[in-house]
Amino acid sequence: MEYLKTSSGHWLEIGGQIVPSLTTMIQGGSPKPPWILKWVINHCVSNNLSYEAYVKGEQSEALRVGAIVHSSVEKLYEGEELEINNDPEVQKALTSFLMWHHEHKPKIISIEERLFCEDIDKKTGNLVYPFCGTTDIVYEDRDGKVVLADFKTSKTLDETMGIQLSGYKQLWDATHDRKIDKIAIIQLKKNFVGSSPRANTNFYFEYQFDPESVYCTWYLFNLNNRDKNGIVKPTYKPDLRTVFNLEEDNEQG
């Protein structure tokens, strides 16, 4: 099932109902941690940047690195050998990934799986879980526990990541026989000094399952993003013309 062609965020149609991804829901429905606001304000002022310039510059670069690292990890698990040059943050993050992988030796259950649940609440007629998402990795650890984890390349971790993981666990447990025992962030360091992180570097950060926080985020997202009719829906990308032909224009004119 593919995400819809929307201009902002990720949305999925499930049983005729259109729902946001957990990351989209969190971005529009949860308070930003104070450190994020402080960093953005200080960074923009000290560098004479507007917020728009920050979004198009610094933030887009962080997103680029994160996207490359995620796709690279997926390729590595598919058995590919990668060669990456002249991209230090990506190279360092992947070095961190290899260190984590060799230390934890995960038995892979699922990689990059799209999660959604079609169960309907009989009282309301709405989806029991009105959101979707794509989890990075589900694996069995050395203790035989099933871990659902996300890879993050950001420097700082926060509680919104726990909300995301909790929502993923809800979707997974509702649609799979084998349930999730632990949820965690695997932080892939990209700013260490030298050729590799220190041997005692911790990459694994476990979170408590908190379904109430998911519901609260969903409520605030709907509260902040509904239209005048009380409906929450995405904005779609326009179907721009793809074929350009002078003769065709003349015939139409």
Which domains does the chain possess? 12-229 (3.40.1350.10)
Given a contact cutoff of 8 angstroms between Cβ atoms, the answer to whether 158 and 143 are in contact is no
The pTM (predicted TM-score) of the whole model is: 0.86
Given a contact cutoff of 8 angstroms between Cβ atoms, the answer to whether 41 and 168 are in contact is no
Using CA atoms, how far apart are residues 31 and 48, in angstroms rounded to an integer? 26
Given a contact cutoff of 8 angstroms between Cβ atoms, the answer to whether 170 and 211 are in contact is yes
**In Å, how far from its chain's centre is CA 3?**
13
- Digit-coded pLDDT (tens) for 156-186: 898 999 999 999 999 999 999 999 999 999 9
- Digit-coded pLDDT (tens) for 187-228: 999 999 999 999 999 999 999 999 999 999 999 999 988 888
183 token code pair: 């949820």
